[in-house]
Amino acid sequence: MDKRRILILGGTTEARDLAGRLGEKPGLAVTLSLAGRTLDPVPQPVPVRTGGFGGAEGLAAYLESHAIDLLVDATHPFAKRISANARAASSMTGIPLLRLERLGWEEVPGDRWTRVASVSDAVTVLGEAPRRVFVTIGRQEAKAFDAAPQHHYLVRSVDPVDPPLEAPDVEYLLARGPFAVENEIALLRDKGIDVIVSKNSGGEATQAKIAAARALGLPVLLIERAAVADDHRAETVEDAVRLVDHLLASFRKRGV
């Protein structure tokens, strides 16, 4: 049987889970694409290709040359460039695109959130007076905090921030989720943190810091996502599996 070919743009737990689910289906050939940023990536359940495609045109060329039937963008909610490239490549080629994007966290009683639109807005909202800030936004945009060198920063990321910040009072912590609430509470207490900066990533792996902030009554500066309209969207892996079946049934098999 000629298999239908799916390319999943990954780098998230959801992408890995979806790849596992789709990889079990005998009629599908699934490839997972990773940017190659993580020095020690976790094992994946399907064949992996690694590295950028060379923009939207490069991705479109890959989709054509590998006769991909369906593109799934399961990248992180804050990985904006690859998602824009996926939309552009889909319209260039006519290959359908499914966006799998987990929901953001919702505020509950006890939360002290200030929602901001970007990392640089978060830096501004920290204010002039020195604070002890837990920065948990990944390593790529951490340099933005150099603009406010009066604060003490605890920066947590999976891989080292390189180059490091120029701000004088920075402590680095290398760790990969999932994190437990009691450990997050202990960390916030030990380090005397008085404000947390986080993206509204959603999902369970990193939610513990939000619960820990609530438990300690600490404020959180939460960087929100920009709203984007996609034709085919799923918020859970379960929904994505259903939509993949539906989309593959609706679009014809592509030739090599």
Summarize as ranges the residues that interact with ligand NAP (CB under 6 A).
9-12, 33-35, 37, 52-55, 58-59, 75-76, 78-82, 85, 138, 140, 199
Question: Closer CB to ligand NAP, residue 50 or residue 183?
Answer: 50
Looking at the Cβ atoms of 55 and 104, the one nearer to ligand NAP is: 55
Q: How far is the CB of 192 from ligand NAP (least distance, A)?
A: 26
Nearest approach in angstroms of CB 9 to ligand NAP is 4
CB of 34 to ligand NAP, least distance (A): 5
Please say which residue, 27 or 178, places its beta carbon nearer to ligand NAP.
178
Q: How far is the CB of 74 from ligand NAP (least distance, A)?
A: 8
Q: Which is nearer to ligand NAP, 169 or 235 (CB)?
A: 235
* Between 15 and 185, CB nearer to ligand NAP: 15
Give the residue carrying structure tokens 């966006």: 99
Q: What's the rounded Cα separation, in Å, for the pair 69 and 3?
A: 10
User: Whole-angstrom Cα distance, residue 69 to residue 142?
Assistant: 37
Nearer to ligand NAP, 120 or 140 (CB): 140
Closest CB to ligand NAP belongs to which residue? Answer: 52
Residue 32 C-beta: closest distance to ligand NAP, Å: 8
Smallest distance from ligand NAP to CB 36, Å = 7
